[in-house]
Chain A
């Protein structure tokens, strides 16, 4: 189980002897999922084409189960490796089942006749991608999501040990995206199939993958487990995000907020702050927020969008310093927004802040 299945050893890839990406080193074990992420045009597809023999590698070697790539015949490789490409295909008069059954190509006889066993495998592949209903439809009359599932079924029925997918989620809506990734996960866990793919969705990539590779420009900037390398800073660097940020904990992208000269203080906590943060950010209004525990849901977004968050480390008591800092901020503001926070035993400090604002003639706006 722990043996390395596919590895690249100082691989150089590119087109017609012009190197695009140098010194690529990575390895995946059997049944692992490796995702390539990076900006558009960074060379994800080039790498994938090079490890599927669609493109000649310029230098370095790819190994499959320790065997040199170039020493595996195309025919044998077809039984080990299947691909799902981004290019749309438009075959004439072919049902989805016929498209899927092309995947049996390496196993059928001289005239490509399907045996009983082949037919069963084709049916299983169709079932695996939940495409029973469209199996007998004309391929060209199906939606993009259905087409992508059919192409995946075609790859599955090639009975490979590894499937390589180039941006399998583009053109798909969120439902199909999740469905497709679930299928891939199932295959890697249940059938021990290794999966390498390029993805645009950083959040999904970090959730599904065992390994992640950052492809940026002419080098692989990072390779490792998503827990280690998918930090907000790394991802902001990878995509050069200056405006807006990527929040890895939420797996969401936030547009940049206005941060200069805040005139509003938002009392937040218990998730009540989030809609107000978003609203003010859209209006282009800068704000302070607090006083929050750092394990509060509001905290993540607050730190991305607000000018300053006043926070208390989780499970600790409020310090007087923090309370004073908060009060000073409130004094700089014209109004305080209270999103109807309920005052309970552990947030009496919120009550204290409201009272402070009232005493200093700051307008209190109650939101509900």
Chain B
């Protein structure tokens, strides 16, 4: 037992260290690649100068200072944070539905969020110039809960997970159709904003957005860690969990709530992003070879950060100066993983 435990902890620590190294490497790469190339030495100098610095003499790298602090840094931090959030959201949904293919995108939850955010944007842009990020998050959360509610109603009626998945995808299409319908009748200026956002991108991240996202995500992450013990019992099945004294209703509510908040935050700031929520938790469980939530939740978060940084880097650079939408990149990596999971599951039955 001890030996086994020890091995697991060693493996977990090793994976975490590798992921942190990858994360740091990707941070540097994300900063120094792009239309303007900045050397690592200059990056460090600028980073250590801190934000809003006017005292240190930066000389000819003054322009770089703005590029890094105003554009690339918030974007990369946003990509990392939102990527982690989306992955944990997926993990919680998979726990809830006890199915590895559940995720905020395939169940139509992201699309529901997109629809409501789209509404709010179109309406509010007519009256004011900018919308506070908190309003966006709230709208997105409401949208997520609407979709989630629909999925849950169907989940009660259909026991077959594949059918439920199709229902989720259909809900997603309906929401997208409604969103597109609204776009058709919107002002041209609004459309530019909305289309860009609705394809999924981290380009809209600013420091003020980032602060709000960070607060919400960190609280939710801590929340998910706090319920990791009941989740571990819930993994067997509901009856066993109940027999061990767990308040199932409360746990189910918390799972839904936290995963919805996380995916809503992501959708509010970066639009709907596909497949991250399924692919990352799956890979994470495989690399730590465990499904213990206390191990998988942090691993999934960190892997999500790394995964999204990588995807964002690819989206920005492969066809530069043209930027790909984020979902294009994540789908290429994520969809094959979903297909393989489906095939594996079918074989078992």
The interface residues of chain B lying within 8 Å CB-to-CB of A122 are 1
**B42 interface residue (CB < 8 Å to A):** no
Residues A92 and B291 in contact, CB atoms below 8 Å apart: yes
- Main SS class of interface, B: helix
Query: Which A residues, 42 to 72, have Cβ-Cβ distances below 8 Å to chain B?
Result: 52-54
How close is B250's CB to chain A, nearest CB, in angstroms?
11
Query: How many residues of A are in contact with the other chain, CB < 8 A?
Result: 39
Residues A74 and B247 in contact, CB atoms below 8 Å apart: yes
Please judge, given known A-B contacts A83-B239, A110-B229, whether A91 and B245 are in contact too, CB under 8 Å: no
Please judge, given known A-B contacts A105-B233, A112-B228, A112-B294, whether A78 and B243 are in contact too, CB under 8 Å: yes
Residues A106 and B245 in contact, CB atoms below 8 Å apart: yes
A53 to B239, CA, bound (A): 10
Residues B233 and A119 in contact, CB atoms below 8 Å apart: no
Residues B229 and A94 in contact, CB atoms below 8 Å apart: no
Residues B4 and A74 in contact, CB atoms below 8 Å apart: no
**B211 interface residue (CB < 8 Å to A):** no
**B334 interface residue (CB < 8 Å to A):** no
The interface residues of chain B lying within 8 Å CB-to-CB of A82 are 243
Residues B4 and A136 in contact, CB atoms below 8 Å apart: yes
Chain B interface size band reads 20 to 34
Please tell me which one of the listed residues B4, B240, B286, B294 contacts residue A111 in the complex, with CB atoms under 8 A apart.
B294
Query: Which B residues, 199 to 254, have Cβ-Cβ distances below 8 Å to chain A?
Result: 226, 228-229, 232-233, 235-237, 239-240, 242-247
* CB closest chain-B residue, reference A52: B243
The interface residues of chain A lying within 8 Å CB-to-CB of B239 are 54, 83, 85, 87
A108 to B292, CA, bound (A): 15
The interface residues of chain A lying within 8 Å CB-to-CB of B1 are 97, 114, 119, 122-123
A82 to B244, CA, bound (A): 8
Residues B237 and A54 in contact, CB atoms below 8 Å apart: no
The interface residues of chain B lying within 8 Å CB-to-CB of A102 are 232-233, 235-236, 240, 244
Please tell me which one of the listed residues B236, B240, B242, B286 contacts residue A53 in the complex, with CB atoms under 8 A apart.
B242
Residues on A close to B: CB < 8 A? 52-54, 73-78, 81-83, 85, 87, 89-95, 97-99, 102-103, 105-106, 108, 110-112, 114, 119, 122-123, 136, 154, 158
Those 8 A-B pairs whose CB atoms lie nearest each other, nearest first: A78-B245, A112-B229, A75-B245, A74-B245, A105-B244, A119-B1, A93-B291, A83-B243
Pick 29 A–B contacts, CB within 8 A, sort by A. Answer: A52-B243, A53-B242, A53-B243, A54-B243, A74-B247, A75-B245, A82-B243, A83-B239, A83-B243, A87-B237, A89-B240, A90-B348, A91-B291, A92-B235, A92-B285, A93-B285, A93-B286, A93-B290, A93-B291, A94-B291, A98-B292, A99-B236, A102-B232, A102-B236, A105-B244, A106-B244, A108-B229, A111-B229, A154-B240
